């Protein structure tokens, strides 16, 4: 009989299916020593099966792109402020667990302090708006281009283009 995955393990599987990053996934799931733990979890068959199940439930590429733009446009910055306020006292494990998705650049000037630059929320909103107006054309164009490239490659090797 298979053992049921616990909440942390399920969260790790979902994060890993989304990012492919074992360290980030373990940190996001709340594990201590995420660098080591992430790779140990990947060695387990039940975890790999859980990742496979989560991957099968992932949204299509255009939906992921839209979700990323939504996250940039509407995402919170509380973890970024937490990093800024307590950078000197924050350990590596704590930093890995922070949601810093909206940050485009971090600088530590020689004069001290920290500079944080965020992605432009208005540009993300414009991309979302364009995607909605074009019926998701941005993602569709990418998929169409990938399909045409694959089709050309098959023709170049003398294979049938029908899938």
Which residues constitute the domain of residue 120?
60-135
Residues 43 and 107 in one domain: no
Residues 64 and 44 in one domain: no
pLDDT at 11: 94
Tens of pLDDT, residues 5-33: 999 999 999 988 887 888 889 999 999 88
Tens of pLDDT, residues 109-156: 999 888 999 999 999 888 888 877 776 544 455 555 556 666 666 655
- For residue 87, the 8-state DSSP code is T
Q: Is residue 71 part of a domain?
A: yes
Question: How many domains does one find in the chain?
Answer: 2
SS3 118: strand
The yes-or-no verdict on residue 97 having pLDDT over 80 is no
Question: Is residue 117 within 8 Å of 104, Cβ to Cβ?
Answer: yes
Residues 106 and 94 in one domain: yes
Chosen domain end from 58, 76, 102? 58
Residues 43 and 12 in one domain: yes
Residues 66 and 41 in one domain: no
């Amino acid at each position: 009989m298979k053992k049921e995955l616990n909440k942390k393990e399920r969260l790790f599987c979902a994060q890993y299916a989304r990012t492919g990053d074992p360290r980030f996934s373990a940190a996001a799931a709340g594990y201590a020593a995420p660098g080591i733990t992430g790779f140990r979890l990947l060695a387990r068959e039940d975890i790999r099966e859980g990742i496979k199940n989560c991957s099968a439930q992932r949204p299509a590429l255009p939906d992921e792109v839209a979700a990323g733009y939504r996250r940039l446009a509407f995402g919170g910055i509380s973890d970024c402020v937490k990093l800024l306020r307590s950078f000197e006292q924050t350990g590596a494990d704590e930093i890995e667990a922070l949601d810093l998705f909206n940050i485009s650049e971090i600088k530590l000037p020689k004069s001290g302090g920290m500079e944080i630059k965020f992605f432009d929320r208005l540009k993300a909103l414009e991309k979302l708006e364009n995607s909605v107006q074009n019926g998701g054309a941005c993602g569709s164009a990418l998929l169409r281009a990938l399909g045409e490239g694959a089709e050309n490659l098959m023709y170049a090797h003398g294979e049938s283009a029908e899938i």
